[in-house]
């Protein structure tokens, strides 16, 4: 499968569900990083080597490489889709990863080797006590970079966007929405006229600044707008 950093696949667990999953490894072998959050991901956690899943894709647009120095800001499993990009980015790399607690920090060892890494945990069990955005804000004060790439809880990404707009720095964020078809026709993942599955999942600051629902509203399975 020929995929770009930031693209996703639809993963089918027969008899259970089909869910969009970002690729955390691309290249000869592809991989996904799965957190238990629902029926489908629980079923994946119960699988053993040799068990099979169905896959279609890759879908979506992926990140665009820009500039010579980048800051990556990730919350929780949001680091997973950023990993192929971080590996591919040839310029200078700074990364902030945040998690609720130290056991939930993933890709830490690899990131220590390939980036200048900053870590935050909500409970202070590792690194800075607080949110990834607080740490990012501190980095904004002392460092300069060409672009910020972010993925994680949408409230966090909205803060990153505001920070970038204030400072005139380019940014790209990978969004998540309830997805059904995955190919841009059912309109389930629409956000202000953009389909996260096809026009996204990655959007840049120029588009995000125009998307009123970003950081505020998402849609449930029935298509009703609900608060994020």
Partner 1 sequence: MLEVEVAGIKMRNPVMLASGICDLTKESMEKFSSAGAIVTKSVGIEKRAGYKNPVFCETECGILNAIGLSNPGVDEYIKEINEIKIENLIASIFGKDESEFYKVAKKISPYVKAIEMNMSCPHAKKVGMEYPSDEINSAVENVKKTGKPVFVKLGMENILRRAENAIEGGADAIVAINSVKAMKICIDFAEPILGNKIGGYSGKGIKPIGVRCVYEISQNFDLPVIGVGGIMNAEDVIEYMMAGANAVQIGSLIYYEEKPFAKICKNLEEWLDKNGYSSINDIVGIALKK
Residues interacting with partner 1, by CB under 8 A?
A: 10, 12, 14-15, 17-19, 52, 54, 56, 180-188, 190, 192-193, 195, 198, 219-224
Of the pair 12, 128, the CB lying nearest partner 1 is at 12
* Smallest separation, CB 190 to partner 1 (Å): 4
Eight-class DSSP state of 181: S
* Smallest separation, CB 72 to partner 1 (Å): 30
User: How many whole angstroms separate alpha carbon 98 and alpha carbon 78?
Assistant: 9
Eight-class DSSP state of 169: -
Task: Quickly list H helices, the chain.
Answer: 39-45, 79-88, 108-114, 132-142, 154-167, 205-208
Of the pair 105, 189, the CB lying nearest partner 1 is at 189
* Smallest separation, CB 58 to partner 1 (Å): 14
Of the pair 86, 179, the CB lying nearest partner 1 is at 179
* Smallest separation, CB 17 to partner 1 (Å): 5
User: How many whole angstroms separate alpha carbon 135 and alpha carbon 112?
Assistant: 16
Of the pair 56, 129, the CB lying nearest partner 1 is at 56
Of the pair 128, 178, the CB lying nearest partner 1 is at 178
From 78, 97, 109, select the one nearest 139 (Cα to Cα): 97
* Smallest separation, CB 219 to partner 1 (Å): 8
* Smallest separation, CB 51 to partner 1 (Å): 11
Spatial contact of 20 and 10, defined as CB atoms under 8 Å apart: yes
Of the pair 148, 208, the CB lying nearest partner 1 is at 208
User: How many whole angstroms separate alpha carbon 123 and alpha carbon 102?
Assistant: 8
Dihedral pair phi/psi, residue 181, rounded to 5°: -75, -35
With vertex at residue 84, the alpha carbon angle to CA 83 and CA 86, rounded to the nearest 5 degrees, is 60
Of the pair 13, 111, the CB lying nearest partner 1 is at 13
SS (H, E, C) 12-57: EECCCEEEEEEEEECCCCCEECCCCCCHHHHHHHCCCCCCCCEEEE
* Smallest separation, CB 150 to partner 1 (Å): 24
């Amino acid at each position: 499968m020929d995929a770009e950093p930031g693209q996703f696949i639809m993963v089918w667990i027969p008899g259970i569900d089909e869910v969009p999953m970002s690729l955390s490894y691309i290249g000869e072998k592809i991989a996904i990083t799965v957190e238990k959050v629902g029926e489908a991901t629980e079923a994946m956690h119960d699988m053993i080597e040799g068990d099979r899943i169905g896959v279609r894709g890759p879908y979506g647009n992926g990140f665009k490489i820009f500039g010579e120095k980048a800051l990556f800001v990730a919350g929780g499993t949001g680091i997973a889709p950023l990993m192929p990009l971080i590996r591919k980015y040839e310029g200078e790399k700074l990364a902030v990863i945040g998690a609720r607690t130290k056991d939930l920090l993933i890709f830490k060892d690899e990131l220590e080797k390939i980036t200048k890494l900053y870590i935050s945990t909500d409970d202070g069990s590792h690194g800075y006590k607080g949110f990834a955005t607080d740490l990012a804000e501190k980095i904004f004060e002392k460092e300069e970079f060409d672009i910020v790439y972010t993925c994680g809880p949408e409230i966090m990404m909205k803060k990153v966007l505001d920070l970038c707009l204030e400072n005139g720095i380019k940014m790209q964020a990978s969004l998540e929405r309830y997805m059904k078809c995955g190919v841009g026709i059912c309109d389930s993942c629409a956000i202000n006229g953009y389909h996260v599955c096809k026009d996204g999942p990655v959007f840049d600051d120029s588009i995000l600044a125009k998307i009123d629902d970003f950081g505020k509203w998402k849609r449930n399975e029935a298509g009703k707008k609900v608060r994020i």
